[in-house]
Each structure stands twice: as structure tokens, then as C-alpha cells.
Amino acid sequence: MRILIAKNAHTKTLKEKIIWAAPAESGALLNIELAGTTFPDAEYRIARGGTSFFVIEAVLSGKGFIESEDTRLCVQAGDCYFLNRDMPVTYYADRKDPYQKIWVNLSGRLVDGLVLSYGIHEAVLVSHAPLSPLLSTLHSLLKKEDCEERKALLIHRMIRMFADEKFSQKHSDPPHAYAIRNWCDRHFSSKATLSDAAQALFLSRAQIIRVFRQAYGETPYAYMLRRRIETAKQLLRNTSMPLSQIAERLAFSDLHHFSHSFRQQEGIAPGIYRKSNHISDKNENTCP
């Protein structure tokens, strides 16, 4: 770790605590090029014309501003933001209450792939997710050897938080709620559990249940069960698939479990539902 006292564009001193600095390796999976904490003065202003690395910063105290194209954003304590590479951006401190921030500069194939996969195309993406503890943890890991996997997982978690914020803004869902429902939609017909969701989404099981219930009025389990039953009804109406095969396909433990769950949801046994609603039993092509 070193304390850097530098001059900014307005000849005022800039104090930074640099805890990591390493040259980028071409083709590397992950490059953490620079990391530290900045304590700007009122004159702090940085204009980037586009860089080869991505930036993640979290505001610890005070206020600041970010400008990109025609957009001007105000950030303050508790906010964090992702700066895309190769895009011009200017950021500066509030004169009356200059912000302090913790940050990391990243590059490499892993980060490129995550940003592409999550569709983060914006020059700047601001989130209210609690990233400062994650950045602090990453800073501590940088001082240790043999922690590459943990570093990569932390970075993935942070980028995923920004992606969740972007999707929640699009779908007007609370933070994390969209990501949880998306996970449920992808796994309702499998044997995946909430423990698997917690590991994938970097949330606790209690958080997942609470956030989902607040957003959608039911638990993730109830939502996934409802999706299973709706899919079962489609299969019962449109196929001749045996009940046991439907139960297995939708990850019910056995036929009894499937029949009991179906009856609880629909008030009727699946076999009787099929007899009453099967498409082949109706003369759909006959004109009235």
C-alpha cells in the first residue's frame, strides 16, 4: 500500500491510497490493474477520453457528479457506479461536500465476457447496491496469494449487481427481485433449490424469500410450484405423456407428489383434468 499525493488539473493536491498496481497482461483471464481509495478535494475533476479498462467505484461519503454525453448524474454516499471502457466520461467532486470513494480498475477476458453476457452497454451505470463492502473485501484479497477464484467470484458478483439494477429499472421491479424471478423461471422444472439460488445470486435464502414476497406477494417456492402446475396442465391438454413422465419432467419427487400438488392447486386430479380438457377429445376443427 502507498499514499499518493498528486496534482490534479486545477493544481490542487489529490490524496489517494493505492493498495494494488499491476500491469495488464494481454489475453489474461482477469487483470486487476489498479485499486485504492481516493480522497478528493473540492477541485477534483477527471476527464477520460476512453480507457482500455473498466472501472467500479463506490462512494463512501460526500457527493460527486458523472457526465457522459448529455447525461449528468449525481452520486452520493451509498451509491456505486460502473464505467464502461472505451467511452468518454468526466467525473468530479461536489465543491461543498467532496466525495470519498473506493474503486478498482479491471480488464481481461472474464470481465469482457460478463459485460457482454449481461448486456451492459451504457457508458455509466449507477446502482444503489451495497458494493463498498465487496470492494473492501476485494482489496484485502489483493494482498494475498492463491485467491484468484475468490477475486473472480467477487467481481462476477459486483457486475451481476449492476446487471440486476439495469434489468430492474427496465422491468420496474425492486433490486434483486427480477434476478430471483428470472432464476425461478429458468429452474422451476428442475430439482434446483433455494440454496442453489442463494449461491448463484449471492444472497441468503432469507433475503431471497423476503425480497421475492415483497415484490410479488408469494414465496419463490409457491411461484415455482405454480409454474410447474401450469406447465403440467399444458402437457395434460396437448400430449398423451404418461402422468409419471410429467411428474419426472417437472421435478416432482414421484407421481403421488405430483397428483397431490396438482389437486391442491386445481381442486381436481390430473387424470380427470386430462379427460375433461384434452385437445384430441374436442372436435376443434368442426364449424358451429
**Same structural domain, 180 and 159:** no
Angle at 260 between CA 255 and CA 265, to 5 degrees: 125
**Same structural domain, 151 and 161:** yes
Sheet containing strand 31-39, edge to edge, reads: 2-7, 13-21, 31-39, 100-107, 54-61, 80-83, 124-127
The residue among 171, 187, 210 that closes a domain is: 171
**Same structural domain, 39 and 145:** yes
**Same structural domain, 160 and 54:** yes
CA distances from 2 to 57, 82, 88, 97 (A): 19, 25, 28, 25
Whether residue 238 lies inside any domain: the answer is yes
CATH number, position 257: 1.10.10.60
Taking alpha carbons only, the member of 63, 115, 44, 110 closest to residue 86 is 115
**Same structural domain, 185 and 162:** no
Whether residue 115 lies inside any domain: the answer is yes
What pLDDT shows up at residue 279? 59
What pLDDT shows up at residue 2? 43
What lies within 8 Å, CB to CB, of 174 at 6+ separation is: 168, 211, 214, 215
Judge contact between 175 and 165, C-beta under 8 A.
Answer: yes
Report residue 169: phi and psi, to 5°: -65, -40
Whether residue 288 lies inside any domain: the answer is no
Judge contact between 158 and 134, C-beta under 8 A.
Answer: yes
pLDDT in tens, 77-97: 888 999 988 788 899 999 999
pLDDT in tens, 152-181: 989 998 998 888 777 666 655 665 787 788
287/163 Cα distance (integer angstroms): 51
What is the distance of C-alpha 24 from the center of its chain? 26
**Same structural domain, 160 and 190:** no
Sheet containing strand 63-68, edge to edge, reads: 45-48, 89-93, 63-68, 71-76
**Same structural domain, 225 and 104:** no
The residue among 136, 171, 206 that closes a domain is: 171
Domain that holds residue 178: 173-282
**Same structural domain, 144 and 17:** yes
CATH number, position 156: 2.60.120.280
The residue among 143, 171, 199 that closes a domain is: 171
What pLDDT shows up at residue 10? 38
Chain position carrying cell 401450469: 230
**Same structural domain, 38 and 177:** no
List the chain pLDDT tens, one digit each, 288 residues: 444 434 444 334 568 899 999 998 888 889 999 999 999 999 999 888 778 899 999 999 999 999 887 788 899 888 899 998 878 889 999 999 999 999 999 999 988 888 877 778 777 878 777 788 899 999 999 988 778 888 998 999 899 888 877 766 665 566 578 778 878 988 888 999 999 998 888 788 999 999 999 988 999 999 999 989 988 998 898 788 899 999 999 999 999 999 999 999 999 999 999 998 875 544 443 333
What pLDDT shows up at residue 78? 86
Taking alpha carbons only, the member of 178, 158, 279, 261 closest to residue 220 is 178
Taking alpha carbons only, the member of 273, 81, 257, 77 closest to residue 159 is 81
pLDDT in tens, 271-287: 999 998 875 544 443 33
Taking alpha carbons only, the member of 124, 107, 125, 136 closest to residue 23 is 107
pTM: 0.57
**Same structural domain, 23 and 152:** yes
What pLDDT shows up at residue 199? 86
DSSP string, 202-226: T--HHHHHHHHHHHHSS-HHHHHHH
**Same structural domain, 131 and 189:** no
Count how many domains the chain has: 2
